[in-house]
A and B are shown apart, each in its own frame.
Chain A
């Protein structure tokens, strides 16, 4: 119980407390002098917006664009993609040779490659990193990139203590033997998951590498304050030469509208996931707005394992003819998507410009609807269109809903969060999910047509592996299998084109909508920006530099 004296003291303090509080804003304002920009003097700093902290700093688990962005700056693999041309170029491996049967790769490592902790990289590190991806205890999400290595399956199943196809010939030479030819194996080795990591760091049972990843890439991880920022600093010992940027400051800003204001105020040099009208942004910031091709497709999946789409190709064609894709691309995506006539986006090896797909033709849609057994939509139950809760995607879904309704197809929109959406689409076990119609996007990790067609169409991948529609056509499977076993891309392309034609024109496996582009803002004084159709995470920071330090602004961090 408080004494009267204590109460008196407290009461006497109230005015002081109130006065102090009232003065707080003034104290705050006193500390508001503009900071000197971090890029002042000769220091080269790039400030980048990222939506949130990258979830997986372990490259073996890297399965999202944020993690890929970080992992590609911190780590390197044996080979890499040239960002613009997507050609395979040497990285840690200086050269390689492939036997004529397409089974055995011998890699010669560059001498003098070092990890951020100073230790020299050897072929043992490469094999450690690759074995780790296949190790069931690691539970890697990207096991598929090495699944075709000889003995990989036995090792992952615990039947063998080592992967038979891995061999360190000497400290700078290693050999990888495949169980069967895989023509795009080098492309898989250029994905972020195939990064080379030091054993002494990544064997840590306490997993300290999650907070402080160590690699041999151009930047090393410095301070990381969760939900605030992550600092990357140039690695002096980088084998391709120290990056021109001294630091990359990744700032975690979830709200795109706030990030846009921060960008305009000069607190960011780079931002993606633009807020508001992109037409307006492009008009307001013409020197900053960049747009490039993106190997990604946007479509509405049809659940082929359930009625009414199961076994009813006319109904699927009716859906395709009913929707005005161009209107979606122009009105919802402001011209930043292009109409897709098939599965492969332009720029993918094997893209077929002659594939016609489906034009917007409501009359044909009605005819196919009648042939499907639902004349004028009679007897067709209302179908839920599942979409991830995102403003643009919901707008696109509303357009699809209106177009389908115009030909008599009743559709309800279910806009839910991503976890809920996945459960509806994929189900929880072997059985397909409840979603009959759902918006999906697919982006390639590598430019080979298999990155789309094998994963999205082969019945072996039905379900969560990629073929979420659970499409199954023996002829398509056979074409895809044959294409996988041929070495020359020229021989494979006709097979892929035929498989795609069947899936699109004969089977109408999805409701095809659009191909995406990549858009972002970068300050004009940032030079050396090289676009990549594999997405923004593939645009290398180590090639960039700041031509002149930004002038001091109100907020620079």
Chain B
């Protein structure tokens, strides 16, 4: 497994280079002048604008700017935020953990809920409960996070008063030596639930389909004929074999949640990376956009690698790196 992992990690280099180049081109082509915004926006002194351009190298030819960006990346330097005037690595270091915590919580909730609902659906296939769960799953998949978040706020925070409306909390646990601040748990509930509901539907549907497929196979029939209890049949025999496509969906969804949590972050004032990137785009804080998107791409690739490794752990028949 180790040589396989090393090979995959080495393969990341050209992928990241291609992604970094694509990001740089997109960001470079964004209309709007960062120097003008930095100089005060609508009322900006042309001399100040010119000095800002020179200071940040924005008046250099495009190839020079690109090479400077790449050489910075090669040295592990993501640059400096135009607006915050501190390193992008630090900006990301602060904004990525909240996004990661949110995405991990959401995917855990979605996986637990989705698999449970998928099993129920499969167990009651073509009966009213299956139809009801199919309907609910469809609703979950279709709900926009922005709307769903506000509805959850109105119900659980504004009306019932059970949970905080928004925010990350001020007194979350700080991981020693890392500077990473975790959210207060009660602040995590609504954003994680919002984000998880969207994935939950998809996971429930794929679990149901995969499980029904496995349940048709001979080893399940013979096991049932030998008198295995239905619960054991579903959970011990069928589910294990149905997990591969479910893991694939969970992996893809998790990677998507890392980059796609921005609407949830916006609604719940969650200090995450998605929000930082969107703000970076609005303010034309280009280094933050480049670094943030690159970080999300890296996370996406690593999550996919982790999913591949999970296949081996779940199904011993799978051999990595072999056809």
Contacts and interface: CB of A to CB of B under 8 A. Distances in A.
A252 interface: yes
Interface string B179-197: 0010011101100010000
Which of A27, A32, A210, A420 has the most chain B CB atoms inside 10 A of its CB? A32
A254 interface: yes
A422 B164 contact: no
Given A422-B36, A423-B32, A553-B161, A25 B109 contact: yes
A18 to B, nearest CB: 5
A28 B164 contact: no
Given A21-B111, A143-B48, A32 B313 contact: no
Chain A contact patch, size range: 35 or more
Given A18-B111, A18-B115, A251-B269, A419 B165 contact: no
A41 interface: no
B40 A265 contact: no
B33 A261 contact: no
A419 B269 contact: no
Which of A15, A226, A468 has the most chain B CB atoms inside 10 A of its CB? A226
Interface in B210-260: 235, 240
Interface stretch (B66-74, B275-283, B296-304): B275-283
A322 to B, nearest CB: 26
A463 interface: yes
Nearest to B55: A139
B157 A22 contact: no
A88 interface: no
Interface in A233-270: 251-255, 257-259, 261-262, 264-265, 267
Given A139-B48, A210-B85, A258-B268, A63 B1 contact: no
The 9 closest A-B pairs by CB, nearest first: A419-B32, A227-B271, A554-B161, A555-B164, A63-B40, A21-B112, A21-B108, A141-B40, A28-B189
12 contacts: A7-B312, A10-B314, A11-B240, A24-B109, A207-B85, A211-B86, A227-B276, A265-B157, A419-B283, A422-B33, A422-B36, A557-B169
Given A25-B193, A258-B165, 13 more contacts: A21-B108, A31-B184, A31-B186, A210-B85, A418-B37, A419-B282, A464-B42, A465-B43, A465-B46, A466-B43, A468-B42, A554-B163, A557-B169
Interface of B: 1, 4, 30-34, 36-37, 39-46, 48-49, 51-52, 55, 83-86, 91, 94-95, 105, 108-109, 111-113, 115-116, 149-150, 153-154, 157-158, 161-170, 181, 184-186, 188-189, 193, 235, 240, 266-269, 271-272, 275-276, 279, 281-284, 312-314, 316, 319-320
Interface of A: 1-2, 4, 6-7, 10-11, 15, 18, 21-22, 24-25, 27-29, 31-32, 34, 52-53, 55, 63-64, 136, 139-141, 143-144, 207, 210-211, 225-229, 251-255, 257-259, 261-262, 264-265, 267, 417-420, 422-423, 425-426, 428, 430, 440, 455, 463-466, 468, 553-555, 557
